[in-house]
A and B are shown apart, each in its own frame.
Chain A
C-alpha cells in the first residue's frame, strides 16, 4: 500500500532523514520506534506532506506523491493524527469530528462515520457538545484519533498516541487502535513506548538518528536483546 524509497529530508544543514525506505502492506499495523530526535515524527510529517523531502519516493498504491500537496494526500487516503493531539480547543467535540471530514461532501456517510467514531470512543459521544480544550488528555487523544478517521483514510498515521497518558489509558488507547485496524484501516504508528507498540504491531522499524537500523516482525523485535537493552529498559 505505502512504499517509501530512499527518503531524505534536510532542515537547513541538518540531515534529518538519511535515505529511509519502508513499506506498509494493506491491513497491517506497522510501528516506527526509536529515541527522541531519531526522525520518527519527521517521517510521518514528510509522508503526509507537511514537510518537503530533498529526495526520495513516496508511493501510495503505486502512485508517486512527491509532488502532491498535503490536501491531496488527505484526499488520496492518508490521514494524520499529529503529535501532541492538537485538537481544535474552542470547538466542540462534534465540530472537531466534522472538520476531520473537511474534504468530504457526502453528508449522510459523514454522519455514519461520526457514529462509527462514537462506537470506538463512547466517551466522545457523552462529550460531543463540550469544547475540546476542556477534555482530559486521554479524551483529547481519542478525539484526535477519531478526527483523523473522519477522512476515511486508507492509512492512518498516529504520532505518539500514548504521550502524557496514564498507563491504564495507554492500554485502552492501544486496544482501540487494534480495534480500528481490525475494522479495516491500515495503521502506521510512531511511538516512544516501544513495548506497547511492538505488542500490537505486525511489523516494526527501528529508527536511529535518521536511519533505519533494524526491522522485523513486532513479536521478534520484542524478543530481541538489542531492542530490550536500547528501548525496553532491560
Chain B
C-alpha cells in the first residue's frame, strides 16, 4: 500500500514543488498575473491553510469546530500589531510566529475543557469561543476597537504564501501518516473503540485542535500583512462557516480536496463578480447542487498524490513511444 502511494522520489517531489513556485513567480514578474489576480491567489492560499488545518480537526479527528476564524484573528492581530511597531521583514516573521503560537496556546486552553463535548455541543462551544475573541478585539484599546487596524505594511508575497501553504500541508499530512495521526482518525471512526484500544482520546483531540489553531494563526498573519487592514468583524462567525464550506465541499478527510475546493470556490466567485446582484444566490445555489450530487465532497476521503504526475509522465512517454 505504502509503496504504491509513493509515486515520485522525494527529490522529484521537491522539483515539482519548486517548478510550480518558479512558474508563478515568473508570471508575476512578467506582470501576466496582475494585482487583482495576485489578491485572488493570496485569498486562495490563505484559505488553503485554513481549510487544510480545519480538516485536521473536523475531517480527520471528527471534532466539529466552528471557531477557526477566532484562531485566525489572533494570528492576524498579533502580526498586525507587531508590524505596526516593527515594519520590517523580521517583524513580520516574528509577528507571524508569535501569532501562530498564541493561537495554538488559546486553542490548547479552549480545547482542554470543550473537547470533552461531542458533535453539536462542541460546535456551539467553539462558536462561542470565537465570538468571545472577536468581542475582546472590538473592546481592546490596543486593537483600535471596531475601527480596526489600518496601514499594516505588506510583507506577504507569493513566496511566503506558497511556503506556508506547502509547509502546512506537509506538516499536517506527515502528522496524519504518523501513529498519532492514525490515533486521531480512529477517534473520528469510533471514539469508544479508540479508547478501548488504549488511545488517549482527549490528548489527541487537543493535539489536533492545537495544531489546527497554530496553522490558522499563520493564515491570519499572512492575511494581515497582505490586505493592509484588519477589522474584528472580518473574523466573525461567517468566516468560520466559509472555511467549513471549503472543507465539506472538498471532502472531510481529504487534504487535496480542501486545496481543490479552495481554488474552485475562488474561481467561482471570481467569475461571478460580473453578476454582482445574483452573485451570492448563484454561489449558494451551486453549493446546494454540488452537495446534492456529491454529498461526500469533491474528493470524499481520497487524495490526489504526486502519483498523478507520474501517471501523466507515463502517459506522455507512452504516446511518444507510439503505443
Contact = CB atoms under 8 A, between A and B. Distances in A.
B120 interface: no
How extensive is the interface on chain B, given as a class?
A: 10 to 19
Contact of B197 (A89, A90, A99): A99
B199 A102 contact: yes
A95 B1 CA distance: 11
Contact of A100 (B179, B185, B197): B197
A99 B186 contact: yes
A75 interface: yes
B198 A75 contact: yes
A87 B301 contact: no
A100 B192 CA distance: 13
Contacts of B194: 88, 99
B118 interface: no
B290 interface: no
A59 interface: no
Contacts of A147: 197
A81 B196 CA distance: 8
A102 B194 CA distance: 9
A63 interface: no
Contacts of B198: 70-71, 73-75, 102-103, 151
A91 B1 contact: no
A228 interface: no
Interface string B210-222: 0000000000000
A91 to B, nearest CB: 6
Nearest to B193: A86
Contacts of A217: none
Given A74-B198, A129-B1, A147-B197, A89 B189 contact: yes
B196 A50 contact: yes
A75 B195 CA distance: 12
13 contacts: A50-B192, A71-B199, A79-B196, A86-B193, A88-B185, A89-B189, A91-B185, A91-B186, A99-B183, A99-B199, A102-B179, A147-B197, A151-B197
Interface of B: 1, 179, 182-183, 185-186, 189-190, 192-200, 301
Interface of A: 48, 50, 69-71, 73-75, 79-82, 86-91, 95, 98-100, 102-103, 129, 147-148, 151
